[in-house]
Amino acid sequence: MPRPLKRNRRCQVCRSRRIKCDGKRPNCSPCQRSSRHCHWIQGIGTPAPPDTAPSPARPGSSLSATVNSETEYPSAQAPEDALRDPQIARIFRHYMESLAAWYDLNDSRRHFKEIVPIRARYNPLLLSAILAFSAANLHHTRGDHTYMELAEAYHYDSVRRLISLTENIDQLPIGETLAAICLLRSHEIITQNVSSQSHLQGCYSLLASRHVHLTADLLSAGYWNYLREDITVALIEHRGLMITLSVADAPPQPTDDMDFANYITFLLGKVINRCLAAYSPPLDILEWEELKADLDQWKSSLPPSFEAIETPGLRMQSNFPSIWTLRSWHGNSTLHYYHTAMGILWLAQPAARPLNALQRIDDLDCLRQKLDYHATEICALAITSESTPVWVNAFGPVAFCGNWLQDTRKRVELVEEIEKWGRIAGWPVSVITDALSPSSINNLP
């Protein structure tokens, strides 16, 4: 018999506002003082394994995830019943129509659009994670606070289910669970809520400990998306990854476009962990040359279809070159990641010999030119694109490399573009734009 989770003692409104709650029901004191309606989520049990049908609700049992009669959230425990609710269906469809593409940018099989919604019809954790992320996105793009309250309720529900599932890790559906973790991490990124990030990282570590072979399935799609999300946050925060990468994690040598995208993701992750991790020792010349050789080999083996196309005047009055690629992933998780990795390596390059002052000046000028080139390529590819998934996946590289732009006009244009991307995608970009303001030009090497 699964052990039921403990009753939540803080209402979802107080959780969302990050204030102390006295747990008084049906309306707590803070909500009464602010004329807000309390939202409560009931305790849940561990859901049935995905290969079994969900238990039907008992006649007369409530599907509400709250006890407030004015705002009721259908429980994800019976997904088919929850999807009969019009609001839940709209939020679910918003994920399929607008958000799944964020994850399928490098996936020709479109697992997060085609497979995840199907699995969510019988997996309560996956459904709850979709609703949490999609509702949070709707809140940021439409400004309706009711979506945020619903998002917080399902986010809390998801984390509780996730913790419960990992108590019996050998029987959990690993691909679906990893997909849910990716969705929950996206929720935390766009809501700037890292309170349960330790739960997600701990759950990911448990999944990774099983050493499951990555194939072309939902598990593989979830793994690469989790790594890319980790890369995005690491680049924005200037730190190493939360994931530890080893030679055993390396994908096979690329044979198709998707393989090339995954391989450069792995190479960038290696460079980040080696060069940006706290207390990481400087690279010696041999290790630096080995990392650069990996990037050079990857670049030289790219098919001609990856080559960027330059069309002067495609974007009128832009300070960036108008360059674009045939497919979205060519320009994003391939060329974006390549230029980011190269920029980090140039910063980490050990001196081949001692330099005097004049030589050091020349060396710094050369470094600035290299960094400006890579930053320009990254930003130009993103700005020329009209794809929201491309913009979302470009936030990390642009945040890390945008400060390398030498031309103040480019930096001003970039900030304006990022603000536009943030409004359309519902992404919090102020931390990026603040760092890229023209006044931060002195932060350049």
Nearest 5°: CA angle at 363, between 358 and 368? Answer: 130
Provide the whole-model pTM.
0.82
Give the model's pLDDT for residue 413: 97
Average pLDDT over residues 40-60: 38
pLDDT in tens, 104-163: 988 888 999 999 999 999 999 999 999 999 999 999 999 888 899 999 999 999 999 988
Percent of the chain whose predicted confidence (pLDDT) is above 90:
57
**Cα 98 from Cα 314, distance rounded (Å):** 26
Residue 404 or residue 163, greater confidence: 404
Q: Which of 134, 106, 109, 107 is nearest to 120 (CA)?
A: 134
Helix 174-191 / helix 145-165 crossing angle, nearest 10 deg: 140
**Cα 184 from Cα 178, distance rounded (Å):** 10
Q: Which two tokens stand for residue 398?
A: 């642009």
Q: What is the DSSP string of 21-34?
A: ----SSS-HHHHHT
pLDDT in tens, 209-230: 665 556 668 988 999 999 999 9
Amino acid at position 314, single letter: L
Residues 6+ apart with CB under 8 A from 207: 169, 174, 177, 178, 181
Q: Is residue 83 over pLDDT 60?
A: yes
Q: Give the SS3 label for residue 64.
A: strand
Q: Is residue 379 over pLDDT 90?
A: yes
Average pLDDT over residues 249-255: 82
Give the model's pLDDT for residue 11: 67
Per-residue burial over 135-158, b if 16 or more Cβ lie within 10 Å, else e, is bbbbbbbeeeeebbbbbbbbbbbb
Task: Provide Rg for the chain, Cα atoms.
Answer: 23
**Cα 374 from Cα 105, distance rounded (Å):** 22
Alpha helices in 251-356, H assignment, sequence order? 257-275, 285-300, 328-329, 337-348
Dihedral pair phi/psi, residue 239, rounded to 5°: -150, 175
**Cα 400 from Cα 395, distance rounded (Å):** 9
Q: Is residue 253 over pLDDT 90?
A: no
Q: Which of 223, 229, 226, 225 is nearest to 210 (CA)?
A: 223
Q: Which two tokens stand for residue 420?
A: 């536009």
65 near 74, Cβ under 8 Å? yes
According to CATH, where is 4.10.240.10 located in the chain? 1-40
Average pLDDT over residues 258-284: 94
**Cα 445 from Cα 435, distance rounded (Å):** 15
**Cα 34 from Cα 243, distance rounded (Å):** 42
Q: Is residue 399 over pLDDT 60?
A: yes
Is the domain spanning 1-40 CATH 1.10.15.40? The answer is no
Amino acid at position 344, single letter: I
Tell me the torsion sign for CA atoms 220, 204, 175, 196: negative
pLDDT in tens, 288-328: 999 999 999 999 999 988 899 999 989 888 999 999 998 87
Mean of the per-residue pLDDT values of the chain: 83
280 near 274, Cβ under 8 Å? yes
